[in-house]
């Protein structure tokens, strides 16, 4: 695909007003904050499909989120999965707005299901996040659903996600974590067993974001992104990308649910996102974990808009270095 075709591709925006998976329900207001910060203007000719909306549910204290939360989470996640599958069936690029990162199960399963329905290998995943989100109900210290979805997407049994990921599992050997730095001990063992690649902020700084972006695309894209046995023309395989604002340092992006020091600067992130977004076979984009109640002067929402535009290969002038 030539570069100009990237900019002509139809983008469909899908909001996910979901705050059930984390500590702060305020992340459910992330889609509205991104739209208010100019998302549709930044994307240009995007079509806004509106939001899937989670109902308010009281969470049970403790590590088990409770039956009511899990039931509502499954319902809204299946709605989101169907919406993303419909967008993919129309040949458009889904740009999913969170909401907490638990919605990633629906987005990524939709991508896997759509690929299999078309007789294609499921794409790889680039997961830009402070966390690896690979706990199970047995290993989670918090019970937060937004810390478990990739375990389910990679085929581990996580009961709240069973129906959501059905038919949409993804290959962990083609999953790349970028910016991860807050990983629970048992979760780290899971990620190691699965064989996912982790690029920490320290490695990104040591090697440079350009080198890491290219290597991440090589791992996630592979050489098998088309139909089985089909040559990819040297472009690399298909990839879906999920960007969590907590991959950035809290000094840069204060409006998130989980603040983890030592994150990416915006200059580092912008370089990564620009290179990844111009990969010719990006099939889905997700931007999550904007928490307007914790934001300062809408800084995080505005960065989320820039991130979405970069990943959708829209023209975004380089920022001043910071």
pLDDT confidence of residue 226: 43
Q: Which of 146, 154, 298, 302 is catalytic?
A: 146
Instruction: Give the DSSP letter of residue 124.
Output: E
pLDDT confidence of residue 322: 54
Q: Which of 85, 129, 187, 295 is catalytic?
A: 129
Could you tell me which residues are beta bridge partners of residue 125?
A: 175, 240
Is 101 catalytic? The answer is yes
Burial 224-253 (b: 16+ CB within 10 A, else e): bbbeeeeebeebbbbbbbbbbbbbbbbebb
**pLDDT below 70 — which residues of the chain?**
1-8, 223-236, 320-322
pLDDT confidence of residue 47: 97
Q: Tell me the residue length of the chain.
A: 322
Distance CA 77, CA 107 (A): 9
pLDDT confidence of residue 233: 43
pLDDT confidence of residue 222: 84
Angstrom distances, CA of residue 187 to CA of 13, 22, 70: 32, 17, 21
Q: Which of 12, 51, 74, 133 is catalytic?
A: 133
Q: Which of 79, 85, 171, 244 is catalytic?
A: 244
Q: Which of 51, 131, 279, 298 is catalytic?
A: 131
Is 146 catalytic? The answer is yes
Is 289 catalytic? The answer is yes
Is 171 catalytic? The answer is no
Sign of CA dihedral 200, 273, 294, 57: negative
pLDDT confidence of residue 230: 47
Number of H helices, E strands in the chain: 12, 8
pLDDT, one tens digit per residue, over 237-287 is 999 999 999 999 999 999 999 999 999 999 999 999 999 999 999 999 999
pLDDT confidence of residue 320: 65
Q: Which of 29, 101, 154, 270 is catalytic?
A: 101
Distance CA 145, CA 158 (A): 10
Is 279 catalytic? The answer is no
Question: Does the pTM exceed 0.75?
Answer: yes
pLDDT confidence of residue 201: 98
pLDDT, one tens digit per residue, over 203-251 is 999 999 999 999 999 999 986 544 434 444 445 699 999 999 999 999 9
Which CATH architecture is the domain 3-311 placed in? Answer: 3-Layer(aba) Sandwich (3.40)
pLDDT confidence of residue 223: 64
């Amino acid at each position: 695909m030539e570069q100009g075709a990237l900019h002509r591709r139809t983008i469909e925006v899908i909001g996910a007003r979901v705050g059930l998976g984390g500590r702060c329900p305020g992340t459910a207001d992330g889609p509205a904050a991104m739209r208010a910060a100019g998302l549709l203007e930044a994307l240009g000719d995007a079509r806004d499909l509106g939001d899937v909306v989670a109902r308010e549910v009281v969470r049970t204290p403790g590590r088990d989120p409770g039956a009511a939360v899990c039931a509502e989470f499954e319902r809204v996640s299946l709605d989101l999965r169907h919406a993303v599958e419909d967008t993919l069936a129309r040949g458009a690029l889904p740009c999913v707005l969170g909401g907490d990162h638990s919605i990633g199960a629906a987005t990524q399963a939709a991508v896997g299901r759509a690929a299999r329905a078309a007789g294609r290998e499921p794409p790889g995943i680039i997961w830009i996040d402070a966390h690896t989100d690979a706990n199970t109900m047995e290993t989670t210290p918090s019970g937060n659903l937004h810390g478990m979805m990739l375990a389910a997407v990679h085929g581990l049994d996580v009961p709240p996600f069973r129906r959501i990921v059905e038919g949409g599992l993804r290959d962990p050997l083609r999953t790349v974590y970028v910016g991860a730095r807050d990983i629970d001990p048992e979760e780290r063992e899971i990620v190691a067993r699965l064989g996912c690649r982790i690029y920490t902020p320290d490695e990104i700084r040591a090697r440079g974001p350009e080198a890491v972006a290219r290597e991440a695309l090589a791992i996630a894209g592979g050489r098998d992104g088309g139909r089985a046995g089909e040559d990819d023309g040297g472009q690399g395989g298909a990839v879906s990308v999920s960007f969590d604002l907590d991959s950035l340092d809290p000094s840069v992006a204060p409006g998130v649910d989980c603040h983890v020091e030592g994150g990416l600067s915006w200059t580092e992130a912008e370089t990564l996102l620009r290179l990844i977004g111009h990969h010719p076979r990006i099939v889905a984009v997700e931007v999550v974990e904007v928490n307007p109640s914790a934001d300062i002067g809408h800084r995080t929402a505005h960065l989320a808009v820039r991130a979405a535009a970069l990943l959708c290969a829209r023209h975004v002038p380089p920022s001043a270095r910071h």
